Amino acid sequence: MATRARANGEGSIFPYRNGYAAYVWVTKPDGKRTRKYVYGKTREDVHAKWIKLHQQAKAGPVATRVPTVGEYLDYWHKEVVRPNLAPLTAATYETLIRLYIKPGLGPKRLDRLQVRDVQAWLNTLATTCQCCAQGKDARRPIEKRRCCALGACCTSYPVTSTLGDARKVLRSALSHAQTEELVARNVAGLAKLPADRRRKGKAWSTDEARRFLESARRDGDPMYAAYVLVLVCGLRKGEVLGLTREDVDLDGAELTIGRQLQRVARQLLHRETKTRASDASLPLPAICVTALRQRLADADQARPAAGSAWQHTGLVFCSAFGTPVDPRNFNRSWDARCRKAGIRKITVHDARRTCGSLLADLDVHPRVAMTILRHARFSITMEIYTQVSSRSTREALKKLGESLDG
């Protein structure tokens, strides 16, 4: 009986149902060897797929089945996010995946995820009480339960920014899946969200900022120098708490910013700043030099009292035993100082915004302010990475320091 001659290398292509099939021996991500099949209506179609599969097998491990959304997110977070992004970013992604994405879309097969699935998930998430969904009230001791666990739903719905963050993570994961040719398009980018009406950031006036600093200085607050750096130089909380003695040159009145202190997954990490735009050397106004000199003197006095319990972290702002200051404790100190000073309570990040507002009030050129605050984008009218002379920067900070110092 005559049979159709096979082309060279087509030994694994064979008739299958109403078309043809072929297989290639591949190595799976777990290291095991197995066959992976491709199918098509014509021999030519299958042969093209077979050649492509051969190339993939030679390039590295090949998945033999399409994962679910949840499985792919776990892989993507472990192999792509954690090795390449900052620890805090990776931790934030993990939280969004675990609490918001996997409960709604986790069981769906990755290649069958549609725009309508993502849209339905976002719509449902926006109207789902997260206290109920995550069992927040149920985890409290029985005597402290006050809402959802008692049948009185508190309607703790996610804000629009949270929905946007969850979609952003899903979109990023699907973008990588496109690169790996697991999906044809990124359906997350096509789903719609309601307009995000972010709250306007609060800022103190010059008088309020002065009252805050005067209150801290008068009471000998150990965080006084940190408050000065936030308000006068616009430093971020993590940057202030991550400063080491090597970063401070009091004789040259200069500060080098290159590291930050962050709490990530119950750990305090002393690591590099988020972006190169955050790294800088800033001239220090007199008020900052005076405050830092006093702070270092206080730390030197505390070291003998701590004795063998002292930890040589080299941090400018530390506890009585030399250990890092937890960012959450810094927030508590800040809030307490707001109450003692008798002024409006704003966050530490809003205080950084206050620095920008005060610079604007002092008619400091926006490009100089962008350098002081180390923004990649300061405003719509701002040119990115604009260079400013150190003399202009020093004069701007001197003006601001004199304004706050009274």
Q: What CATH number is associated with residue 230?
A: 1.10.443.10
pLDDT band at 381 (very low <50, low <70, confident <90, very high): very low
Q: Which range among 117-121, 293-297, 387-391 has the greatest average pLDDT? A: 117-121
Handedness of CA 108, 109, 115, 116 (dihedral sign): negative
Q: For residues 222 and 297, what is the distance between their CA atoms, to the nearest angstrom?
A: 11
Tell me what the pLDDT averaged over the chain comes to. 82
Give yes or no: residues 154 and 34 share one domain: no
Is 196 domain-assigned?
no
Q: How many CB atoms lie within 10 A of CB 189?
A: 15
Instruction: Please tell me the predicted confidence (pLDDT) of residue 13.
Output: 86
Q: Residue 8's pLDDT band (boundaries 50, 70, 90)? A: very low
CB 232 within 8 A of CB 217: no
Among candidate residues 320, 315, 289, 304, the one with its CA nearest the CA of residue 222: 320
> Is residue 2 assigned to a domain?
no
Among the candidates 190, 215, 250, a domain finishes at 190
Q: How far apart are CA 364 and CA 303, in angstroms?
A: 41
Helix/strand/coil (H/E/C) assignment for every residue in 319-366: CCCCCECCHHHHHHHHHHHHHHHCCCCCCHHHHHHHHHHHHHHCCCCH
Looking at the structure, tell me whether residues 55 and 76 fall in a common domain.
Answer: no
Total domains, the chain: 3
CATH of the domain at 120: 1.10.150.130
Bridge partners, 26 (sequence order): 34
Residues 185 and 277 in one domain: no
pLDDT of residue 184: 80
Quick check: 231 pLDDT over 90? Answer: no
| Claim to verify: residue 25 and residue 121 sit in the same structural domain | no
Does 149 share its domain with 230?
Answer: no
Average pLDDT over residues 298-319: 87
Residue 83: pLDDT band by 50, 70, 90 thresholds? very high
Task: Please report whether residue 348 resides in a domain.
Answer: yes
Residues 39 and 82 occupy one common structural domain? no
Indicate the pLDDT class of residue 279, thresholds 50, 70 and 90: low
Question: What whole-number distance in Å separates Cα of residue 177 and Cα of residue 82?
Answer: 16
Among candidates 261, 257, 262, which has minimal Cα distance to 288? 257
b/e per residue 295-310 (b: at least 16 CB within 10 A)? beeebeebeeeeeeeb
Per-residue pLDDT at 375 exceeds 80: no
* Residue showing tokens 């290159």: 258
Residue 384 is predicted with a pLDDT of 27
Q: What is the mean pLDDT of residues 62-88?
A: 89
Task: Note the pTM of the prediction, 2 decimals.
Answer: 0.68
CA proximity to 37, closest of 45, 324, 195, 26: 26
The answer to whether the beta carbons of residues 117 and 187 sit under 8 Å apart is yes
Question: Are 241 and 327 contained in the same domain?
Answer: yes
When pLDDT is cut at 50, 70 and 90, the band that residue 386 belongs to is: very low
pLDDT of the residue at 31: 76
Report d(CA 313, CA 205) in Å as an integer.
36
28, 34 in Cβ contact below 8 A? Answer: yes
State how far the Cα of 275 lies from the Cα of 286, in Å rounded to an integer: 28
The answer to the question of residue 23 being in a domain is: yes
Say if residue 45 is in the same domain as residue 79. Answer: no
**Sheet hosting strand 19-27, strand order edge to edge:** 13-16, 19-27, 33-40
Higher pLDDT, 148 or 9: 148
55 and 74 assigned to the same domain: no
7, part of any domain: no
Q: At what angle do helices 348-361 and 206-218 cross, to 10 degrees?
A: 130
Among 115, 132, 134, smallest CA distance to 123 is for 115
In the chain, what percentage of residues exceed pLDDT 90?
38
Position 280 scores a pLDDT of: 63
Whether residue 48 lies inside any domain: the answer is yes
pLDDT at 104: 94
Q: Averaged over 378-394, what is the pLDDT?
A: 42
Give the domain range for residue 21. Answer: 13-59
- Lowest mean pLDDT, pick from 24-28, 153-157, 369-373: 369-373
Q: Are 121 and 26 in a shared domain?
A: no
Which of 51-60, 170-179, 229-238 has the highest average model confidence (pLDDT)? 170-179
**Domain match, 162 and 236 both:** no
Measured in degrees and rounded to the nearest 5, phi and psi for residue 280 equal: -170, 165
Alpha-carbon span 142 to 140, nearest angstrom:
6
Residue 37's pLDDT band (cuts 50, 70, 90):
confident
**What is the pLDDT, as a whole number, of residue 350?**
83
- Of 127, 129, 112, the residue nearest 183 (C-alpha): 112
**Alpha-carbon distance 233 to 227, whole Å?**
10
Q: Residue 334 — pLDDT band, cuts 50, 70, 90?
A: very high
Same domain (yes/no): 221, 178: no
